[in-house]
Structure 1
Amino acid sequence: MMGINWDRHLLAPLHGVFGDPVEYRPAGGISYTLSGIFDRAYTQDVDPLDDGSTINTTKPVLGVRDSQFQALPKQGDRVFIGIVGGVLVNTLFAVADVQPDSHGGTKLILNKVR
């Protein structure tokens, strides 16, 4: 039995419908365009405080296909997002965290570059 090609059967069609072109700028490398699905807000729980309460923070996220990278994404790389779903974003982000999903996709947690 052959495994499912997640990139071809799920991720490529998904990005074809919901993805937007973004400019990926690897640290010390040459920029190139790939498809990303951008979410402005992603809530993440931060370590609990001494009193047991938790803090959550909101970070933008970019869903990407691993097959589109020239080298695996890493912290410190930059992503310029111009337009998402017809809405002007025009923002440069730094990759704060890289979370592969084991199905050929990765979630990039982003920080806005000031």
Structure 2
Amino acid sequence: MGVNWVQHLLKPLHGVFGDPVDFRPAGGAAYTISGIFDRAYTQDVDPMEDGSTINTTSPVLGVLDSDFLLPPKKGDRVFIGLVSGEQVNTLFTISDIQPDSHGGSKLILNRVKS
């Protein structure tokens, strides 16, 4: 029998570390989901001709796939108000979705300039 990752791992993690996040799908009504926000995620970009590497950082939101009415898409937005009691009050757009194959996904975010 396989492990129910959502029940035994992801939901308890979101219960402890998750914060309410305002999900704003393109062309749809906003609703609240649970998310675990990390301010920066480092990703290596293609190596340069001289062998050096360029990397970039992006904020990331860990989510439960079951929280969504429809799967999130690139271009959807999330508004993150509070993270562990600290004000973030920032609107982000989803630039990439990385499913974890266990019922959760990592949303790679870009800050929306005001």
TM-score range, shorter chain: over 0.9
Gaps of 5+ in 1: none
Cα displacement (A) at 1:99: 0.1
Distance in 2 (alpha carbons) for counterparts of 1:102 and 1:81? 25
Aligned counterpart, 1:36: 35
Q: Report whether the alignment pairs 1:23 with 2:22.
A: yes
Runs of 5+ unmatched residues, structure 2: none
Hey, what's the Cα distance between the residues in 2 that align with 1:31 and 1:11? 23
Deviations 1:76-102 (A, max 9, x none): 000000000000000000001000000
The residue aligned with 2:106 is 107
**TM-score normalised according to structure 1 size:** 0.96
In structure 2, the partner of 1:51 is 50
- The number of residues matched between the two structures is 113
Matching residue of 2:59: 60
AA paired with 2:99? P
User: 1:12-38 CA distances to partner (integer Å, 9 max, x unpaired)?
Assistant: 100000000000011111110000000
Distance across 1 between alignment mates of 2:48 and 2:3? 42
**2:8 alignment counterpart:** 9
Q: CA deviation at 1:55?
A: 0.5
Question: Taking structure 2 as the reference length, what is the TM-score of the superposition?
Answer: 0.96
CA distance in 2, matches of 1:5, 1:90: 34
The sequence identity of aligned pairs, in percent, is 74
1:75 aligns to what? Answer: 74
Equivalent-residue separation in structure 2 for 1:45 and 1:18 (angstroms): 27
